[in-house]
Amino acid sequence: MLKTWKAQPIVSTVLVAVNVLAYILCCATGDMLYDRGRLDLFGVLVNKEYDRILWAMFLHSGVSHLFNNMLILFFLGSMIEKETGHVRYALLYLASGIGGNLLSLLVKAVNSDISASLGASGAIFGLDGVLLAMVLFSGRRMENVTPTRVLLMIAYSLYSGFTGHNIDNAAHIGGLLTGFILTSVICFLQRSRRKSSS
């Protein structure tokens, strides 16, 4: 029973549900939640509404934006959650989203960009980084997952972002780097622990 529970994508399912619920609430309340949660320099730095760095991860601009992100989140997230465990997966996801939004704010500040951004894609790019670090450094084999395939997936995702419109590529890169760095550190610590105990 415990093994079955560990294998279930519980966190991924909850994250998808929360994002969908947030979108439904946004549709029902007009601009209220968007005004309170989207990521922009004025809200964070002037009004000191630092919680926007977290809440922006759960807001989406439309059905297609939501659907695309949730599709990737569920399938990629389920695979990673099975390998990392529920708690570590949740922490890596949230940390990646926050890291992506922090880099987004930095780039906005440097460019005096007053535009607002939202969406889960920074955290989802973080999952790409998590997966890349796992296949490179964990020492475990994952079925049908190779460094080359992961790098091609990341390259295509970045290319799509840079050739698209109204896309916060800084959040994508920030999430990707955060997920990769944190997971690399975890992998090295785990391998050091295994060596010292053997």
**Which CATH number applies to 2-197: 2.40.160.20, 1.10.3720.10, 2.40.30.10, 1.20.1540.10?**
1.20.1540.10
Is residue 147 within 8 Å of 136, Cβ to Cβ? Answer: yes
Mean of all residue pLDDT scores within the chain = 92
**Structure confidence at residue 185 (pLDDT):** 96
Task: Report the predicted TM-score, pTM, of the whole model to 2 decimal places.
Answer: 0.93
**Which tokens in the block code for residue 99?**
């890291």
pLDDT bin (cut points 50, 70, 90) of residue 143 is: confident
Alpha carbon distance 107, 150 (integer Å): 26
Please identify every residue annotated as catalytic.
121, 172
What does the alpha-carbon distance between residue 19 and residue 65 come to, in Å, rounded to a whole number? 11
Q: What is the DSSP letter of 64?
A: H
For residue 38, what pLDDT band results from cuts at 50, 70 and 90?
Answer: very high
Q: Find the farthest-apart pair of alpha carbons in the chain and give their distance in angstroms, rounded.
A: 59
